[in-house]
Amino acid sequence: MLAVRSGFCRACGRDHDDGDVRCSHCGWDVVPLPAQAFGAVGVVHSVRRGLRRRLAVRVGDHEGQAVLLVEGGDRQSVPHDALPDVAKLAPTNGYSARSSPGRLLQLAAGVSSGATKYKWQPADLHAAAVAVAGD
pLDDT, averaged in runs of 10, over the chain (135 residues): 63 82 86 67 85 88 91 90 84 68 88 86 92 74
Quote the CA–CA distance of 18 and 20 in Å, as a whole number.
Answer: 6
Q: Which residues form the domain of 16?
A: 1-30
Q: For the chain, how many residues are written? A: 135
5 with 68, same domain: the answer is: no
Q: What is the pLDDT of residue 52?
A: 83
Task: Confirm whether pTM is higher than 0.75.
Answer: no
Say how many domains are in the chain. Answer: 2
Q: What is the pLDDT of residue 125?
A: 92
Provide CB contacts within 8 A for 39, sequence distance 6+: 99, 100, 132
118 with 62, same domain: the answer is: yes
Residue type, 86: V
Q: What is the pLDDT of residue 131?
A: 87
Q: What is the pLDDT of residue 1?
A: 43
74 with 11, same domain: the answer is: no
Cα 13 to Cα 2, 29, 35, 112, distances in angstroms: 14, 12, 20, 32
